[in-house]
Amino acid sequence: MQQASDNSMLGIYVSVPFCRAKCSFCNFASGVGTPEAMESYVERLCAEIDGAGANAVSLGAELPRRVDTVYFGGGTPSLLAPQQLRRIFAALRRNFDVADGAEITLEAAPGQIGDAILAESQRLGVSRVSLGVQSFIDRESASVGRLHTERECIQEIVRLRAEGLIEVGADLIAGLPYQTAESWEHSLEVATGVGLTHLSVYMLEIDEDSRLGQEVIAGGKRFHAHGVPAEEISAELYEQACARLPRAGFTQYEISNFAGAGHRSRHNVKYWQRTPYLGFGLDAHSMLRTTTGAVRLANPDELGQYAGAQSAREISRGGVTEAFEETIFLGLRMDEGVDFQGLAAAFPNELTKPCAEAVRDLVAEDLMTDEDGRWRLTLRGRLVSNEVFGRLLEGVAV
Ligand code: SF4
């Protein structure tokens, strides 16, 4: 069942870009930070939160005060000191009205959540922990620089549940060095049997932005690049997860996300349903409503620029066409897909007609389905989703 989007409630993302070690596959703006760097980062973050209202006014954007989801991502936010987390929460609460029962998520690395930060998080209202597990096979984890073992991951999940956290999720990656269908099956089996409520499954991204990606592209052997399975194998591993996880009670509700009943990430659903969200911190992105559409912003991805209070860059200020494009490619990421009738009611014919024609071809190619006007990606379509989105929006470009 699709959750109704509520534009009056804001989602907040807080980026904490510090990690204990940099994973070889990581293409995020994150790195190992000194305690001093973390301290001045928190100060800058709180100043940015305090300036959010004035910033929205200068952009001509609407800024809802009521917040129903907060997501601490990164990086490894569980490395914050309790007093730092307290200060960030204080800044959020003096500028926003965080609703009772808000979904508040803390990303963490297994084995890197001290007792003090866990206790403080729960006291401050954190209701959900998302663990960067990536694999339950020690050789695979070690090959990309993860610092945990399978045993430590399981112990961490059991500990979080015992501490009263109901929502505990994990990320897994298909396509890690040395991964096989059998080893992946083991990771999926452990993930579905250890008390997790949510799973995100990503395919390893091979690009210039990570050390492992660069080495794979160069055909080298550093970072275990020679152990990375071929792209077709990674795609098969993803398909294996799509088949296996629903059988274990984890419904796929988005291209990369699976959840037990009632355990979807409310925060992430906001991105796909185009409800407003505001990001603070390094490389954080925002989308706010304006009277004519929406404005999208991105913070600097260089720590020096962010620390120097360089303001967010405007990525787009969209009207009807941009809203249409986003409705298509964000909506199709979700299992509910896109309802043509709703689309036709909200957007003009010159946008919807070429799109509907493209859908006909994509259905014939088994990349999409069209059931009584509800469009969805097929499993094959999900694997080449960017190509499908491109074809759907080809005729829309103005
Ligand atoms: S812990 Fe996460 S953010 Fe940090 S380097 Fe590894 S993948 Fe990147």
What is d(CA 47, CA 367) in angstroms, rounded to the nearest whole number? 47
The order of strands in the sheet holding 294-298 is 251-254, 257-259, 198-203, 167-174, 128-134, 97-108, 66-74, 10-16, 277-280, 285-289, 294-298, 313-318
Question: Which CA distances in Å does 24 have to 116, 129, 241, 358?
Answer: 29, 23, 23, 39
**How is residue 242 written in tokens?**
């799509």
Pocket, ligand 1, Cβ cutoff 6 A: 19, 22-23, 26, 28, 30, 74-76, 109, 132
The pLDDT value recorded for residue 5 is: 62
| Distance in Å, CA 110 to ligand 1 centroid | 12
The separation between the first and the last C-alpha atoms of the chain, rounded to the nearest angstrom, is: 34
- 81-134 residue pLDDT tens: 999 999 999 999 999 999 999 999 999 999 999 999 999 999 999 999 999 999
What is d(CA 26, CA 23) in angstroms, rounded to the nearest whole number? 5
Residue type (1 letter), 319: G
Longest dimension (CA), the chain: 58
Q: Provide the 3-class DSSP secondary structure of residue 137.
A: coil
Q: Provide the 3-class DSSP secondary structure of residue 171.
A: strand
| Distance in Å, CA 294 to ligand 1 centroid | 31
| Distance in Å, CA 109 to ligand 1 centroid | 8
The pLDDT value recorded for residue 3 is: 46
Which of 18, 20, 22, 72 gets mutated to test ligand 1 (max ligand atoms within 8 A of its CB)? 22
The pLDDT value recorded for residue 1 is: 41
| Distance in Å, CA 108 to ligand 1 centroid | 10
Tell me the pLDDT of the chain averaged across its residues: 94
The pLDDT value recorded for residue 397 is: 56
| Distance in Å, CA 320 to ligand 1 centroid | 36
What is d(CA 295, CA 276) in angstroms, rounded to the nearest whole number? 10
Q: How far is CA 202 from the centre of its chain?
A: 10
Q: Does the structure show a pLDDT above 50 at 229?
A: yes
Stretch among 226-235, 312-321, 377-386 having the lowest mean pLDDT:
312-321
**Which numbered atom of ligand 1 lies nearest the CA of 17?**
3
The pLDDT value recorded for residue 2 is: 42
Instruction: Give the closest residue (by CA) to ligand 1 atom 2.
Output: 75
- 328-369 residue pLDDT tens: 999 999 999 999 999 999 999 999 999 999 999 999 999 999
Instruction: Give the closest residue (by CA) to ligand 1 atom 7.
Output: 26
User: Domains of the chain by range and CATH?
Assistant: 10-270 (3.80.30.20), 320-398 (1.10.10)
**How is residue 240 written in tokens?**
């294996």
Query: Which residues pair with residue 105 across a beta bridge?
Result: 71, 128
User: CA neighbours within 13 Å on the CB side: how many for 59?
Assistant: 26
The pLDDT value recorded for residue 318 is: 79
Residue type (1 letter), 369: T
Instruction: Give the closest residue (by CA) to ligand 1 atom 3.
Output: 75
- 239-298 residue pLDDT tens: 999 999 999 999 999 999 999 999 999 999 999 999 999 999 999 999 999 988 899 999
| Distance in Å, CA 130 to ligand 1 centroid | 13
| Distance in Å, CA 21 to ligand 1 centroid | 8
Backbone angles phi, psi at 321, to 5 degrees: -60, -45
Name which residue leads in pLDDT, 201 or 318: 201
| Span 2-7, average pLDDT | 59
Q: Which residues contact 141 (CB under 8 A, 6 or more apart)?
A: 134, 135, 148, 149, 150
User: CA neighbours within 13 Å on the CB side: how many for 82?
Assistant: 11
| Span 170-182, average pLDDT | 98
Which of 18, 25, 76 gets mutated to test ligand 1 (max ligand atoms within 8 A of its CB)? 76
Which of 26, 78, 134 gets mutated to test ligand 1 (max ligand atoms within 8 A of its CB)? 26
